[in-house]
Amino acid sequence: MEDVMTRHNSFRSLLKTDSRLVPSIRRKLKRTFAVIFVSLAAAIAVLASISFVSTWGTSGTGDGQFLTPTGIAVDAAGSVYVAEGNGNRVQKFDSAGVLLLKFGTGGAANGGLVSPSGIATDSAGNIYVSDSSEDTNRVSKYNSSGAFLNTIGSGLIAPGGVAVDSANNIYILDSNNHRVRKYDSAGAHLIDFGSIGSGNGQLSFPQGIAIDASNNVYVADTQNSRIEEFTSGGVFVRTWGTSGSGNGEFTSPTGVTAAGGNVYVADSGNNRIQSFSSTGTFNEAFGTAGSGDGQFSDPQDVAADAFGNIFVADTVNDRVQKLSSVASPVVANAGPDQTVECTGATTSVTLDGTASTGSGTLTYTWKEGTTTLGSGATLAVSLPTGAHTITLTVSSSGGGSDDDEVLITIVDTLAPTITLNGTDPMTVECHTTFSDPGAMASDACAGDLTSSITVSGSVNPNVVGPYTLTYTVSDGSHTTSKNRTVNVVDTTPPVITINGANPVTVECHTSFTDLGATANDGCAGSFPATASGTVNVNVPGTYTITYNASDPSGNPAAPQARTVNVVDTTVPVIIVNGNTPELWSPNHKYQTFSVTDFVTGATDSCNTSLGVGSVVISQVTSDELENSSGDGNTLNDIVIAADCKSVQLRAERDGNGDGRVYTITFKVTDSSGNVGTARARVVVPKSQGSGPAIDSGVHYTVNGTCP
């Protein structure tokens, strides 16, 4: 068998190292190969995995029934002995549960049983039963047929478990005295060891005892919730276990047996059987509370045969349960290959080795290359993007290990996402400023990629039109782009500024040049406004020139108007002929003079309709008094006609003067009310031939009544 297992290990090593085998094929071959060797595993020193086989017994006093089975033992032939605490008997069965023998009756007489608890057999087939009743406090010895032989022990108080070593020495748990008593096969007392307490080598109401093939002694130290190991000479070796329900912990352990290099403990308070190595390393826990297969209710004792079978006194359920402890090789199973989408710079992946198998307590170590990732049947690890070959090494507490590989591939199949800041599309007023609000980028694997964004395209805020900015980012595997539309618009109308003065005054019959107006636009700049309206410089009046403008975007400016006032401020001109008539003789008579006697025309730069007919006499003055001495003592020397077109002048002068001068003032008024004047003279000489009359200033005035 050793050679077979060597070949087994060599083949598994080849499977691990042969580079021609991809991980998935390698795992399939390993697991198939492991099945072939399961049937051989019982022959090697590998820890066994416990499983339910069968059960027998019901509550009662009939054959094969039980009343509180408290002790159980197996002889060299594989027969099973059950001591019934309340049935006051022992029943013998084969390993399949067929009743073979029963013995013991109620009573304190020799051979009788009152409250049997522990039971053991020796190499000769003799049977030892401890009776814990206060009426007995003894161990009874029977032959293989159940015939009483003798009692062993004295000074016992509530003896519990009993065991026999390879020399047929008998070990009795003197429970209430918290000690172990050792006797030879003839019943002679040899040694005692143990005392009350919780220190090393001390005991507190111990209930179970077992001896392995090397004569090591294991005691179920019930109230201290532990197992203590001694040599056959009673020297303390080690202890393990504490109070609790976890693996390797106990609540009132009452039964113990040793077989195949393992120690099995009836952990009665936790309703289970626990398996340990011979040095106390926890292997396995089996069973839960209940009455189903593989369930227990206060199991008081446990025994094992040489064939890997385990028998449990399932006390409150009044039955025996048969379990199997079949050794199996360690087979690591790192789980199926995984392809996982990344979730960040690293991605959490759960490694699962729970499908690994093997006897004993399995430990799990996960590595990537030479780097240890962690331990445990399952392990959450964080891995970067890429392929990762991870090795699981599974080791058994009983020896043996195996490894398996799993390929974890962290992939990035998703492109990064770009989120534009601000609005899209954006609207920007022409001839303002544009500030790109930018964008944010993120990726499930690479995280924040905002700083890696590149921007292409530009925006001219002075030119109307649509612009495109393109934002691009890459996560190393994928590239994403996103566009933003920026619309540069012109919604602001231009402003018209009139060039030159406003209002403008233009003299009639001159010329007028419009200086125009300028439209100023933030986007289009400056351009001439369009004028509408005309000015007739020959016709006085108020004229309006209106300026309009629209920018290239169609925004109309507020119209502006220039007022042009064509005015006539130039006086008309009277054209006189220069005649100066003389009145002679001074006969005091009137002589009539008309406008046309002196005026040949009237002109006006604006009012071209003026003529001689528009001229009237506005005033006539005399440089002598109306009635001077020597002038005939007459009045009304000057009479202007009602239509002011003529005037009557009296031909007389001051006899003492130097002649008389009449001054006639003509006026003409144009349509704007401008008045033009001219003068003419009519003289009355002092005497004929005396020379021109001298104007001595106005002494007498007559005004016309015409406007």
Q: Where are the domains of the chain?
A: 1-43, 51-324, 328-411, 422-489, 495-567, 573-702
Class of domain 495-567: mainly beta
Q: Name which of 31-45, 118-132, 514-528, 597-611 the model is least confident about.
A: 31-45
- For 246-266, letters b (16+ CB in 10 Å) and e give eebbbebbbbbbbbbbbbbbb
pLDDT, tens only, 377-423? 999 999 999 999 999 999 987 678 999 999 999 999 999 999 999 99
Neighbours of 42 (CB within 10 A): 18
* 27 — pLDDT class (breaks 50, 70, 90): low
- For 70-84, letters b (16+ CB in 10 Å) and e give bbbbbbeeebbbbbb
pTM to 2 decimal places: 0.49
CA 462, CA 465: separation in Å to the nearest integer? 9
Class of domain 328-411: mainly beta
- The answer, yes or no, to whether residue 40 has pLDDT greater than 60, is no
Q: Which amino acid is at 197?
A: G
The domain defined by 422-489 folds into Immunoglobulin-like (2.60.40)
Question: Same CATH fold, 495-567 and 328-411?
Answer: yes
Output the CA–CA distances (angstroms, integers) from residue 320 to 63, 64, 67, 160, 563, in the order listed. 14, 10, 11, 19, 127
CA 382, CA 350: separation in Å to the nearest integer? 9
pLDDT, tens only, 322-375? 999 866 789 999 999 999 999 888 999 999 999 998 876 799 999 999 999 999
pLDDT, tens only, 255-282? 999 998 999 999 999 999 999 999 999 9
Per CATH, domain 51-324 is 1.10.10.10: no
Tell me the residue ranges of DSSP E strands in 328-478: 338-341, 347-352, 362-368, 371-375, 378-383, 386-396, 401-411, 417-420, 426-429, 439-443, 447-448, 454-456, 465-474
* 436 — pLDDT class (breaks 50, 70, 90): very high
